[in-house]
Structure 1
């Protein structure tokens, strides 16, 4: 019996060698699947590369979506592409040797799903921040089900769904590229599945550690809306997110940079690849528990 073929893209800036070594070791230990690995140096030459892996050296940092797209293209150009793509953060680890095989099994049990998301936890195998639960109802991260967004750094995507959706949104650089890709996959008739019983580990970091967080998160929210929503839904979406951002800024700061990001996003919206989803997709997302204005 043929084993599932998975193409794995791992992005690096050579900035966390210990974590990356651990990530690759647990990746190479995966059983029951055939792997091809591409390590992408985002503005650098990769220094930690498994034997036999492809490498891509990007002369400049293209951001996370651009770097991952470069890896996916390199794997496709290297020969017969795998049925699945797996995108792996270079500080994420597989706690057991059957994670990828179990994710493929979940995908086979849910053929309607264009992507399958494991439950991401801290190294303690238990703690799951709310932002890592890819659905609105986050109180029980152990409950599986259909999802409408994704946690980008540990996700299995069918190659056909990824290519049909056009891959990651290069212009985003960082933040919300998973929401954008998920909506484009849904717009083409597929769904997403949260395989909550399958865990992966990641350091418990905060996105606000990035100096560009507030600006890019706000900018990309505008672009997600403009790229994917029917025109009548764009204003309520942006009003809701600007209100939520203002409330959060009272507690955590970042109001000025967020406002700058919203302005930047609005000014640059016409440079984005607008492919508004159908009203049928809006209804499907709503039925799945996430109206696309939320």
Structure 2
């Protein structure tokens, strides 16, 4: 990809106006300026945006997947974007060369589909859950991985045109895994680059009221959509065991099992099982699609 043009997509629900303003200022300071910046109000009105920033107000909250697809559709309409950068509205680009480095990565590898940023708080700490690999003790170890971080990442438009966009029925949780599994099965690469940093407050995923139910339902959907039949019970069995062992909240477990049953009962087409070659490739990258 020669001279890839960057488009930025940001979702907001209108609850972080100060953080959104700071994020947009950090985007404007990039050495490599973005071709486009789109801010989507996900079921909420948008504040006054800086000149050159396009606003899209959705009448209802479509979730992370639906909101990002709306931003992606608007960027595609412009026709001058090659790489989409999704950023959380409470994040901050603390370096001015993030887009320059990102462009260099895409220029150097025509099969690079996804680049995952490192998420770090104000003290430079990266939570274990924000390292996209099983061995997560060293957040500074980059390389090829099998998933990516939703808070800050780059996506090749050419890849998205081949594999499709975000899985809208998921609404929230595991949408990155769904997208990365499709990318890997189509022969694209997913890279974790820790030198590309999005500063983000230290948070817990359980702050979202729907966390347990969505995580369980969407994990079942992941298996039903993408795994070879032989691996579906293995994957679900391992994650059920891990959830029971890790979860200390009785209410949380009840919600999780409710979501699990919902996932079993409800379809989430299409079913396109990944190739066994992809399973082996993921295993060689350190994370077979069973955990």
TM range (shorter): over 0.9
Determine the structure 1 residue equivalent to 2:120: 121
With structure 2 as the length reference, what TM-score do the two structures score? 0.95
- Tell me if structure 1 keeps the 8 A contact 2:225–2:268: no
Post-superposition offset of 1:129: 0.4
Aligned length: 290
Residues in 2 aligned to 1:3 and 1:145: alpha-carbon distance in whole angstroms:
23
1:291 paired to 2:288: yes
- Tell me if structure 2 keeps the 8 A contact 1:116–1:194: yes
Determine the structure 2 residue equivalent to 1:275: 272
Q: Alignment partner of 2:215: what SS? A: helix
CA RMSD of aligned residues (A): 1.5
Determine the structure 1 residue equivalent to 2:13: 13
With structure 1 as the length reference, what TM-score do the two structures score? 0.94
Residues in 2 aligned to 1:164 and 1:60: alpha-carbon distance in whole angstroms:
28
- Tell me if structure 2 keeps the 8 A contact 1:117–1:194: yes
Residues in 2 aligned to 1:107 and 1:6: alpha-carbon distance in whole angstroms:
11
Q: Alignment partner of 1:30: what SS? A: coil
Which stretch of the first structure deviates more once superposed, 48-57 or 254-263?
48-57
Q: Which runs of 5+ in 2 are unaligned?
A: none
Residues in 2 aligned to 1:48 and 1:261: alpha-carbon distance in whole angstroms:
38
Q: How does 1:138-149 map to 2 (within 5 A)?
A: 138-149=136-147
Determine the structure 1 residue equivalent to 2:222: 224
- Tell me if structure 1 keeps the 8 A contact 2:116–2:191: yes
Determine the structure 2 residue equivalent to 1:98: 97
Which stretch of the first structure deviates more once superposed, 137-146 or 242-251?
242-251
Which stretch of the first structure deviates more once superposed, 50-59 or 173-182?
50-59
Residues in 2 aligned to 1:217 and 1:130: alpha-carbon distance in whole angstroms:
18
Post-superposition offset of 1:135: 1.1
> Which of 187, 200, 203 is matched with 2:201 structurally?
203
Residues in 2 aligned to 1:136 and 1:48: alpha-carbon distance in whole angstroms:
42
> Which of 112, 118, 132 is matched with 2:130 structurally?
132
Post-superposition offset of 1:108: 2.8
Post-superposition offset of 1:112: 3.0
Cα distance per residue 1:204-226 (max 9 Å; x no partner): 11110111111111111111111
Q: Alignment partner of 1:34: what SS? A: coil
Residues in 1 aligned to 2:105 and 2:99: alpha-carbon distance in whole angstroms:
10
Q: Alignment partner of 2:14: what SS? A: coil
- Tell me if structure 1 keeps the 8 A contact 2:3–2:103: no
1:86 paired to 2:85: yes
Residues in 1 aligned to 2:285 and 2:172: alpha-carbon distance in whole angstroms:
26
1:54 paired to 2:51: no
